[in-house]
Chain A
Amino acid sequence: MRRAALYLALLLCATSFRPGRAQDCEMIPAYSMYFGAGNGSSGNSILTFVEVEGYANIYPTDCALEGVTHQGSAYNDVDGVGNYWESGSAVCPSCYVYVLDYQTLQATPGVSYPWNYQAKVVCSQAGTIFNEAGQQKVSLVLPTGETSEATTNGALAPEVPFIATLEGGSFNGHQVQESSGGPGVNNCYWSGAPIPQYPVVQGTSWTVGTVNNQAAGANQYGYDTIGWNAYDLNAIATTGAAQGIKSGCVTEIYQFMEYWFPGVWDMYKYNLLTFTATWPPQEQESCRDEAGQGECGSN
């Protein structure tokens, strides 16, 4: 999104602006155009918007401008969709103008589409007093996938920290989050255990370009820490074992990964998270999307 602010001083001396008054009226427009594009909320769609808003300052403030109006309009044409002007109501010069034009284009991943946008404000007396325009190409920019790399960090052991790397574009600074793909399976659970019977992801979000709250490589995010902590692993290997849980018990969690555009989360990846507890000695192997672009590791 880009903010384009225009401060234009116009000295209007038309007699119709000062009926019965001795001085001229001065009008200073303060209008802005906002625009943006991102993935739509359903399927492969691109959402674009163009917005014009603002008002005009009138000096002196008691200047009478009977009959004078300002009207905002926005143009938002993405590959032929939305090739018309969306206009707001005509309002008094100092009144707030706000026009928002949303368009949705069904798109094919990897294809670029022309996008033309424009915003203007027309004064009934002075003509066009604000006018900005632009054009660019837009395309679906959802990540096409991600790889997962198991790493080590002694402070987190025996949980295994993973670093993920998004594919399909440049995504640093954007947000991703995990959502539940359904109740997980916990073969290490016994009745009365202090561990979840149906484990699910916690709904954490990460900023792409950071790992462990520090700047990282392009498109990386993390850690996504997977597995039992030391207390739970010990409980499984001692109390659980004494209640019939076998070494090698496997737990599964279903993780949907979603990418954030302003206003919408889009899912781009499904990850099966698995971790296997073994004893003695008490150890754990965790996997993130082992069958796909991920791997397994221990910490």
Chain B
Amino acid sequence: MRVTKVLIVIISLLGSCCALAQQNARKARYMKDAAVQHSGLTATVFANDPRPLLQATRAIAAEYGWVVDFEDPLYFSKFDTVDATDPAWRAANPSSKGTLNVAGGAFQSTFPEPSSSASSVAAEVALQKVVEDYNASGNPGKFVVSKEAGRRFTITGLEVKDESGFSKPVPALLDTVITIPLETRNGEEMFDLFLQTLSDTAHTKVVHGSFMTNLLRNSTVAAGGNGVTARSVLSSIVSQLDSQYQLNWTLFYDLDSGMYFLNIWPAMTSLGKGPNGNPNFAPLKRDDTAPVPH
């Protein structure tokens, strides 16, 4: 009996070590940035991240000067998540539940090289191909691309894995139908009202991220509507914020807090490599209409 217990403990310890090793290996495998390689009539994007589709489409958007909004689905099962707790932190906090991350990893997709980065049709074809490849890759979630306007697109998560590992359709948070009286308001007041209304209606807390305060407080926004999608209201707000840059939104689902983080950041365009070898980016100006060279 005692021998059996010792064996169980040893096996458990071995299992923990292996699990930790896997986690470390997973973390070590992540790419700092996705890479886009051009090869004649096609291009290939390489990504490795907890959200590889987000990393890939960010790189593609920056490469061609497109604006891509991104919306996480609500992940919940062990098939879409991974324990990402740092071993040193775990050792110092043995009673803590640790932290989860989305269980994405390596992903690559080869798509038709856009004949012109100014072509919204070429952009849509390329992004459709990337998302199709992603949905077949086994990485968490299944997504769709929708065109908003011109070279602006939204990638929305619509399927996750359930607790049995089967695909389960989930509603997109920004498809939630809301009502906000159409009025002209200060940007901060408007955005807070939007988040509160969306949170109340969807029964999911949605908060906003950092670096938006100046922009919101210095903008005046006329938005709202009766029985409209949250996405249409958000799109209206974003288009009226008083920035010299094109802005996109990213909706992150935080597995630990169970909240969505809604960020509005400048869309970026790639400037190649900087002097230190790191990727160099610049915000995409609102009046930038010229194709971005690559």
Contacts and interface: CB of A to CB of B under 8 A. Distances in A.
Contacts of A61: none
Contacts of A202: 211-212, 214-215, 243, 245, 247, 265-266
B89 A238 contact: no
B256 A191 contact: no
B252 interface: yes
A177 B186 CA distance: 19
A194 B252 contact: yes
B214 A225 contact: yes
Nearest to B100: A239
A202 B213 CA distance: 9
Instruction: Report which residue of A191, A200, A232 has the largest number of chain B beta carbons within 10 angstroms of its beta carbon.
Output: A191
A223 B217 contact: yes
Interface string B204-218: 000111111111011
Interface of chain B: mostly helix, strand, loop or mixed: mixed
Interface stretch (A128-136, A140-148, A241-249): A241-249
A206 interface: yes
A69 interface: no
B102 A194 contact: no
A216 interface: no
A182 B209 CA distance: 21
Contact of B244 (A179, A195, A232, A243): A179
A244 B93 CA distance: 12
A224 interface: yes
B207 A196 contact: no
A261 to B, nearest CB: 16
A265 B188 CA distance: 26
B199 to A, nearest CB: 13
A226 B12 CA distance: 47
Nearest to A212: B217
A243 B84 contact: yes
Contacts of A194: 209, 250, 252, 254, 261, 263
A36 interface: no
Question: What is the size category of the interface that chain A forms with chain B?
Answer: 35 or more
Contacts of B85: 242-243
Assign chain B's interface to a size class. 35 or more
Nearest to A213: B217
A159 to B, nearest CB: 6
Nearest to B30: A191
Nearest to A202: B215
A205 B242 contact: yes
B276 to A, nearest CB: 11
B213 A192 contact: no
Contacts of B209: 194-195, 229, 231-232
B49 interface: yes
B284 to A, nearest CB: 10
Nearest to B89: A242
Nearest to B278: A183
A242 B98 contact: yes
Given A194-B261, A198-B281, A224 B244 contact: no
Interface string B69-89: 000000000000000111011
Contact of B261 (A159, A198, A205, A231): A231
A169 interface: no
A54 interface: no
Contacts of A177: 244
Interface of B: 27, 30, 33, 49-51, 84-86, 88-89, 93, 96, 98-99, 101-102, 186, 207-215, 217-218, 242-245, 247, 250, 252, 254, 256-257, 259, 261, 263, 265-266, 268, 274, 278-283
Interface of A: 156, 159, 177, 179-180, 182-183, 191-192, 194-206, 212-213, 223-225, 227-229, 231-232, 235, 238-239, 241-244
Given A191-B101, A223-B217, 7 more contacts: A180-B282, A183-B281, A195-B210, A203-B243, A203-B244, A229-B209, A243-B85
20 contacts: A180-B283, A183-B278, A183-B280, A191-B30, A192-B84, A194-B250, A194-B252, A196-B265, A202-B243, A206-B218, A224-B214, A229-B213, A235-B257, A238-B256, A241-B89, A242-B86, A242-B89, A242-B99, A243-B84, A243-B89
